[in-house]
Each structure stands twice: as structure tokens, then as C-alpha cells.
Amino acid sequence: MLPLARLLDSLEAFYGPQLPDWPTDPYQFLIWWHCGYPASDAACAKGWMSLTSRFEVDTESLLAANAGELAEALKPGGMVPELRAARLKEIAERVQKEFGADLCGSLRRMPIARARTALKKFPGIADPGADRILLFAGIAPLPAVPSNCPHVLLRMQLGYEPEKYAVAYAEAQKMITDGVAEKPDARIRAYLLLKRHGQEVCKRTNPKCAVCPVADSCAFVK
């Protein structure tokens, strides 16, 4: 079994350096996350592009916006645009009232555990989302794991994945904690490479092991 650092190097050689294609500011990420439904990078990107072409997304602008017009702007992102428009207003109101319209600054001043708890009070945000937000905002170098891809590390390193999601996520986090330097750039790189690999090759069902760049070192393949 190759060390995680070497596996990540192999993934980067295959996919190239990765960059996030979503906003890394915590407040803007929360808005982006509700721009698509079912939530996916592609759906959220479409909704975000449509929304930001018509509205400013600061808290005051969203609170002042007409709900029907917001919903119309969100339609390219998928289903239930009216519900998602209501969620945007809910997020904007909470950030304005509870965080003085400065969510990022407020999170930086909190202990990490409290910051994670604060983020999980927003709609649609659980532990994976909170870890992702704090990591990409540069607030804490947490061992974040892509929420839909915890199986990738477990397959490569262990050859199997636990049935329970919480157990799989915790195991993947431990592997990142042990195998990736506790630095924002290093853990962001790991997150993005594992996410890309899980989406394109190491899929949850029907993984494309025949074209996997780390198949020779993958415990799942062996």
C-alpha cells in the first residue's frame, strides 16, 4: 500500500492541479450551495451564474429582493426554486442578525468546535459541509472529505468501505489527518483530487478500475 502522499501525487499527475469552482467565502458558499437542487457542482454553478447576473448576493440585497424574482433566477439550477429562494433569504437574515453580516470574520474569532456548530445550523449543512467551508475559507486546516466520496480513500487504502456513512467519513478523515500535512493548501489539494477521482473514475457504483491511475496500488482492485 502506497503512502497517501504518493497516491495523491499520482492522482495529480493524472488529473492535473485542481482548483475549487465554488466560492470559498463561507457566506457566499452557503448561497451557492442552494443555487442548485439536487445539489451538484454543475447545478449550483448554473443557478449561481443566473442569480449573480441579476442580483447582488450580499445580505441586504437578498433580503430586499422580490422572492418571486429570486425564484425565477434560481430556475436554471434545478428543482424547487421557490423553496431555494426562501432558503437564501433565511441565510441572509441569519448572517445579518447573528453575525453582523460578516460570517467569515465571525467564524475566525470562534473556537473551531463552535464554528462548526454555527455552520451546521444553516440549512443543508452537516459535518462534511462545515469542514469543507472552514477548510476552503482558510479558517482551519481540517481533514475535510468530499461528502459524496468518502469511499475513495477507503477503497484505495483498505479495500472496502463501511456500510455506515458516519463510520466511513470518520475513517477517511483519520487517513487524511495521518497522511496529509496539517496545512490548508495540502488538505485542500487532497480534497479536490479525491473529489475529482470519485466523480470521474472511482465512482460509488461501477468504478472504472481499468483506467484508474492508482489501480496498481489500490487495495480494492487487489
* Cell triple for 62: 437578498
Q: Which residues 6+ apart lie within 8 Å of 106 measured at CB?
A: 99, 100, 118
Domain check: are 211 and 164 in the same one?
yes
Q: Are residues 158 and 116 in the same domain?
A: no
Q: How far apart are CA 175 and CA 153, in angstroms?
A: 8
Domain shared by 128 and 201, yes or no: no
Residue 179 lies in a domain: yes
Whether residue 189 sits in one domain with residue 104: no
Look up residue 102 and give its three cell numbers.
Answer: 460578516
**Domain identity same for 31 and 120:** yes
pLDDT per position in the chain (222 positions), as tens? 678 999 999 999 999 999 999 999 999 999 999 999 999 999 999 999 999 999 999 999 999 999 999 999 999 999 999 999 999 999 999 999 999 999 999 999 999 999 999 999 999 999 999 999 999 999 999 999 999 899 999 999 999 888 899 999 999 999 999 999 999 999 999 999 999 999 999 998 899 999 999 999 999 998
Q: What grid cell was written down for 20?
A: 475549487
122 in the same domain as 190: no
Pure H helices in 142-220: 150-158, 165-179, 184-200
Q: How far apart are CA 119 and CA 115, in angstroms?
A: 6
> C-alpha distances in angstroms, 96 versus 4, 78, 108?
41, 27, 16
Query: The domain spanning residue 63 has which CATH number?
Result: 1.10.340.30
Assess contact for 162 and 151: CB atoms under 8 A: no
Select from 98, 113, 136 the last residue of a domain. Answer: 136
Q: Is residue 30 located within the same domain as residue 118?
A: yes
Which residues, at least 6 apart from 165, have a Cβ–Cβ distance to it below 8 Å? Answer: 150
Give how many domains the chain has, as a whole number. 2
pLDDT at 73: 98
- Answer yes or no: is 222 within a domain: no
Q: Please check whether residues 183 and 106 belong to one and the same domain.
A: no
Are residue 12 and residue 65 in the same domain, yes or no?
no
| pLDDT given for residue 160 in this prediction | 87
In the listed set 136, 166, 183, which residue is the last one of a domain according to the structure? Answer: 136
Verify that 83 and 184 share a domain, yes or no.
no
Asked whether residue 202 is domain-assigned, the answer is yes
Q: What is the pTM of this model?
A: 0.94
pLDDT number for residue 146: 95
From 108, 136, 164, give the residue that closes a domain: 136
Q: Residue 10 sits in a domain of what CATH number?
A: 1.10.1670.10
Taken in order 129, 175, 198, 135, the sign of the CA dihedral is: positive
Q: Which domain holds residue 198?
A: 4-19+144-217
pLDDT at 196: 97
Terminus-to-terminus CA distance in the chain, angstroms? 10
